[in-house]
Structure 1
């Protein structure tokens, strides 16, 4: 039976079903420009003029670039194109006489290019493995640029590679998987499956013809090979398109579409099979892709419940799954297993053997024959099985052969098979299982590979996934009945304990990665497994977990929730919990405290400007800073908490300058490069990133894998005080690795940050948990907010302008609305300010937009105003706004430019959506950098020469960029004192190369970047660092996501807020609104008042993150899951009354519960409008007393000891008076009666007094 591959075909996103038309809204399709060909050639204005028209009705010169990228694969008509070789107009003699070639694409077809096979870096290995007629010696050596281009250039070689690729794609048998690299529906970086059908017909590679000459064998070929497919607009026997268009239409009509569930992503373990334009897809990859689509279609049914096409597509998938299992057979990993054994090109040998086997045959008798008698193979294949291999095979122990067969049962890559078969590689990768253990439990291949490390210098690692092992352990009946697994490896049924354990581990790993949970309620784990994309399904129940729990030790532990409900937790988080909680508890509750005979207030006064006695806020600020300093110095562990501008780094600077503390050494750490620089500059002391420090301290951070870990021994020996800034960004793994390093050697460990910001990307919320633990038994501390191991700064001063004294500036007042803290009663004033007269201080500017076109116009106008541009054509002023210097002929970006790169920043919660960060960057790039882009495309220019545009975004000289992956980088100047490391999120500017006019030298080809976090150092990036298939290391950074901005500060921020997005949370808004130093400009979709609702606990992400860090030290901190509007949250972290109202404080909960107990219906934060209807305030509770026809407004006052809060409450009280709401004690007003209650002096509330007041009001 001839070997069969399937094919993946990349297409760009299209807003009208790929029917051979221009997009209906070309400008709104920013997802297609992830492909470099489209990014370079897309002209929005031109496409708008032909929007919706068929490609065959448009002049070829006017066709959009997406035509070349297969945007017409569903066109019901023939499309003809003329292809001109890209080197025709070059100085290459082999190409400049090539004639244009006509390419005819029949209806429902795609012109496919297997780019990986045509890349010289891969071609040689592929050709050897496939025994193709490829010879590197045929490749041209002149001109030099052609030799260095990286592509296969010789015609014979091109033909060999193209024919080799398509030789295993079989008409009528192979499936074709269409996918997009990006869609507007998700920020997920995975590929999205668009449709699946069958390959109907494959064209032949076309060879270019020469002008006036006979075509030679070495003449270049057209790389586009036409593949016809069976998919049609109506779902039928030929396949289907995923119903994304229908879902988008339903969403526009108001349907709630969960795109995370409705999108079908390419299999996580098969990334290479869905890359490089067109690529082979294995049977395992196909099965996995079909299961992904099935799961997404099941989710889509919740929205498209009347669509019969979804049911038809599901039936088609089931039929293909059955078919694929027969094709797959029992040993899909045979080639990889043979390679692991030592056969050179084991996959090619496996292909040959497949031609001599029937469908679903056992290959091992034939394998044994050829390994013992290689002469039975054709001569070219016989060379693969050397005499040494034959001897090795004959001497092979039975257990080693069984392991080889087991690995062949699984569709592993060559590297994965080698990692588990070759014991030396296995141990070097950190996998401590023996052969016998793997044979007894195949799932240990997945479990053991989760934390394996690269064993080669390249540092690349593709881990084995759970789904891959599951398919090998549970083949379909047609395979299993004929080829059952050996007894020791065979599963007892779908609920085999080995499978259940691995699936539990998989659920907990995914929960940690995507949800930040370090433990999960058992019932959520059960539901996750039952709903997983598995075949056969695993119908696990709580009883099953009970039965197999004894098999969990060393990987999973059972823990409890509040009330005794069971939960599950990975063993490593049990260990990190023990380490962190015990260390913090011992250091704070039992550790001997340090004593200092210091006047900390006097130290602060010497450090700060002279005090204005009239500035009461500043007096209180210094009082709390002094109290904080005393606690940080005395405690062995402490947290310093405070919002932006509260003076945390001032406190740290004073601490670091203390003679006794400085003499014992101070180590400053931060999670990001930018935070490191800010901490160092503000404290006047060197700092490191946490990754840098841990990588050099027992390798507790692996720079190759990005994993933080604990290591036996190798304690840190150095400074006695360790301070970590931006601690809210630390995961439990990061903090655990740090504690592991310093637990025995450091006197004083201080975590600094704002727990109300976004939680870390990764597992846990340890800073938040530590703050909660340390304040749990001291909740009524009012001022200063200092206790054992805990200090909070509450008075924000950084943003104050001269003349401002009491209270917060308006921008911080807005941010505090989303802080999750209880708010004083006058804080709702912010909304009347912003929606009424506006902020007269200029700190907050708001602009409304409704459509994407309005946003584009508004955003460009805001930038023109904020950057003081003469017009939208003022490209020079734009460039100088972030570090450029106006030179003789152009704006130059010299080393040192990065110091200005964060003068302003556009922020958005979204990355890929319409007008997410990617789309905004493209808009600004095309508008303000078009001259630089054109300059980069020229070979000569009076201004000099710069590198060509790089990557899918076309990054050029002078662009503002962001590094998107932690990585080591040695190519830096100067080398002395260079970090040789760039952290994810570091922002910089391209400062080279610029070869000035009249200067001799090679054309610039390196992109040189200086980062603001590493001033004075310039890093070199080569063209391959921008490979779009490998995800470029640099992206444009005129706009970045709020997550990327965390830990950074900017002069002015411009925040773009769409109306509806699951990504907009309370913490995200709080983080976004505290990034600015001078001003924030908010571009909001719809009414500004819509943002008010996002401040509730229901829109917070921290309460939905399950952790149990301090459960032993304080059982009250056990998680208590409760479902709130379809989301699971920890009940102790939200304020919700008994009747389900989401509130802001415990005091409000007590009041609402009391009202409910008296059967009083009350609305929460219902707007009370002024007499003229132009302004409003938000009373805590509004009660419409219909019995006597009165309206009662109930306000509860806390924090009135703060001067600013008190003044704003007095202002609100006066506003109530002016608008007909008078206090109860004065008989009420003509429009409402105002009831006011207060916290007591300790910050508490007396429930008895509340009950008494309600009795007084309602009897």
Structure 2
């Protein structure tokens, strides 16, 4: 029998705010469906709902019973009820896994998969049926694609050598050093499913553009033309990739260039979103008209969208996922790219794969051989960074963070790298914070005028107006200048959260005469869309700036929100038409994914929270193209963050392997 101390935990935790009303409401709903349900079963249902809200796909029963507080992140960091031993999650340690499993298996609400029960218990993981089906669906689709191998031309090696020759070092040309972009292209050319992972600057976009050129060339030689689509999770990511695609393909012959896509769509637009539903226009009954699909920023794709995407993909279509496996997982539930790449081991190629790669690329991978699963043979990690070289503090710091080595991180700060700095601040009222916001530095003296960023430059551009230049030229200049600097936070609430930092930043800019108001509509206010608006054609994460815009045929300007679009155009919207948005001087690290800035500044809070992980720190610093600043009060917070990894329970990894 389950320990009677579990009785009343559900009601107590909801009352204390440890669980959401939604979690308690879900348990109550199940109780109406099965009135004889025991309290432990209902408690597990509520905890499953709680975990879904935190990005997990399922509730890991063994992890729950062995480390309840860590698994559930209870009590919450902002809870006022922290000293209540009677309601401590640790009471769950008194339950044995066998007892709990027996009680759950006996419930009419739960099955092992078959049937239509609302919950599924499988291999010690408790799922909401919908998410269990997503997991099985994604795993099944990927496994089927892994079993198919396309033939490649006999002269693939010479084609790759010619294609990538301008990008190779002498060692890569002589085959004494592996050119991983060639390896990635070869693997993707023979596979219906492949993954190309690497950090910023490792050449993911360059690789995939050359892959598209190779495959389209092969198809054109056969008198056919591949239907190619490229997509990304957000409008920001789509716009950035569109620019990169167009720039990279300019070196290709005209017939190839004309046969490649020049626009990247969002995943929702690709699938055809149906507002207010979970369904899409394209699905298994109405598949996409595509032979090759590339999805960029795949770490941002949640389980539900990945399931929808795979359903809509024709059986013989090729899928290539691009992304950084070390970044934060998706905002919504799941960590699909992380689950796919969970081996994370550079020595994962089996002998057969290594032999095939040597035959078709000329590169010897004996150093990278291992006993990886079938899935691992379809994954390439790009290891050479073309942006962050030996003299890059950002590169050194990101590697140390990924390694989970606090001492190495601390040592790097002491090495005097010019592109990283750390500011010790006690509050946003510190003068150093004001200087950072204005000019990108923590003090009044600017050591290098070329490195001047902050928010003053773009607001100076706003105040100068279009002058004699065409208005759109000025609008684009403002948007480009704004992208030079971005303040990031892991939190939404509190002094160090996005809300507090946005208010403080607006106050600083107002006091310096750079904006007309601290609130409301004013020229220069940056805004971020927080929910998809299909009527306006604006997606969650799209960034715009309020600016005076002259309408055609009128001399008077009107204040509008100006958004850069993926095709290079500008969308201009009256502020009154915006429904879900927020000021964006500061944004969460999650929201920054898919974006790059000349200089990013991350604010660490003065105490540990569940949001602080090495993946968050890595994601924040790698949004920077040139400079990274870390603001904080306690070094201990940084060290603990480096040691802590993001974990999302899903079970997808085990089903894929």
TM-score by length of 1: 0.40
Query: Over residues 339-371 of structure 1, what are the superposed CA-to-partner deviations in whole Å (9 max), with x where a residue is unaligned?
Result: xxxxxxxxxxxxxxxxxxxxxxxxxxxxxxxxx
Pairing partner for 2:388 from 799, 810, 816: 799
Do residues 1065 (structure 1) and 613 (structure 2) align? yes
The question of 1:742 aligning with 2:313 is answered yes
Spell out the pairing of 1:499-578 with structure 2 (5 A cutoff).
505-521=45-61, 524=64, 542-549=101-108, 552=111, 553-556=115-118, 558-561=120-123, 566-578=124-136
Per the alignment, residue 689 of structure 1 pairs with 266
Gap regions ≥5 residues in structure 2: 1-10, 75-85, 90-94, 247-261, 351-364
In structure 2, what is the equivalent of residue 591 of structure 1?
Answer: 148
Once residues 913 and 847 of structure 1 are traced to their aligned partners in structure 2, the CA distance between those partners, rounded to angstroms, is 20
Q: Equivalents in 2 of 1:710, 1:743: separation in Å?
A: 14
Q: Is the 8 A contact 2:425 2:632 kept in 1?
A: yes
Distance in 2 (CA, whole Å) between partners of 1:569 and 1:710 is 27
Q: Offset of 1:925 from its aligned partner?
A: 2.2
How many residues are paired up? 569
In structure 1, C-alpha distance between the alignment counterparts of 2:244 and 2:582, rounded to whole Å = 28
Match of 1:960 among 526, 534, 545: 526
SS at match of 2:332: coil
Cα distance change of structure 1 residues 760 and 1112 upon mapping to structure 2, 3 Å threshold: closer
Structure 1 residue 507: Cα displacement:
3.8
- 1:337 is aligned to none
Q: Paired residue for 1:444? A: none
Q: Secondary structure at the match of 1:1058?
A: coil
Match of 2:627 in 1: 1079
Quote the residue 2:300 is aligned against. Answer: 729
Q: Give 2:137's match in structure 1, choosing from 579, 582, 585.
A: 579
Contact 2:229/2:264 (8 A) holds in 1: yes
User: After superposition, where does 1:716-1115 map in structure 2 within 5 Å?
Assistant: 716-746=287-317, 748-772=318-342, 778=348, 788-800=377-389, 807=390, 809-820=392-403, 831-836=410-415, 838-839=416-417, 842-854=418-430, 856-857=433-434, 859-860=436-437, 863=440, 865=446, 877-880=457-460, 885=465, 887=467, 894-897=474-477, 898-929=479-510, 931=513, 933-934=515-516, 953-970=519-536, 981-993=537-549, 1004=558, 1007-1011=560-564, 1013=566, 1015-1023=568-576, 1025=578, 1033-1062=580-609, 1063-1087=611-635, 1091-1096=638-643, 1099-1102=644-647, 1105-1112=648-655, 1114=657
Unaligned runs of 5+ in 1: 1-289, 300-463, 475-488, 534-538, 696-700, 801-806, 935-948, 971-980, 1026-1031, 1115-1259
Query: In 1, are the aligned partners of 2:271 and 2:288 still within 8 Å (CA)?
Result: no
* C-alpha contact 1:635 1:788 (8 A) present in aligned 2: no
**Structure with max Cα Rg:** 1
Structure 2 match to 1:461: none
- How far apart are the structure 1 equivalents of 2:463 and 2:595? 17
Distance verdict in 2 for CA 1:715–1:703, change over 3 Å: same
Aligned pairs for 1:359-438 (under 5 A) are none
Alignment of 1:24-103 (within 5 A): none
**Contact 2:30–2:42 under 8 Å retained in 1:** no
CA contact (8 A) 1:669 1:723 kept: yes
Q: Is residue 295 from structure 1 mapped to residue 295 from structure 2 by the alignment? A: no
Q: Cα RMSD between the aligned structures?
A: 4.5
User: In structure 2, what is the Cα distance between the partners aligned to 1:629 and 1:917?
Assistant: 40
C-alpha contact (below 8 Å) 2:349/2:368 kept by paired residues: no
- More RCO (CA 8 Å, sep 6+): 2
Report if aligned partners of 2:562, 2:571 keep a CA contact under 8 Å in 1.
yes
Range moving further from structure 2, 522-531 or 985-994: 522-531
8 Å CA contact retained: 1:849, 1:1086: no
Q: CA deviation at 1:511?
A: 1.8
Secondary structure of the equivalent of 2:600?
A: strand
1:704 equivalent among 273, 276, 283: 276
Counterpart in the other structure of 2:226 = 664
Structure 1 residues 618-627 or 1053-1062, which shifts more? Answer: 618-627
CA drift at 1:595: 1.2
| Cα separation, 1, equivalents of 2:623 and 2:245 | 19
Q: CA deviation at 1:744?
A: 2.0
Preserved CA contact (<8 Å) 1:965 1:1033:
yes
- Deviation, structure 1 residue 640: 0.6
Question: How far is 1:554 from its partner?
Answer: 1.4
Contact 1:957 1:993 in 2 (8 A): no
Q: Residues 708 and 733 of structure 1 are in contact (CA less than 8 Å); yes or no, is this contact kept in structure 2?
A: no
Secondary structure of 1:638's aligned partner: strand
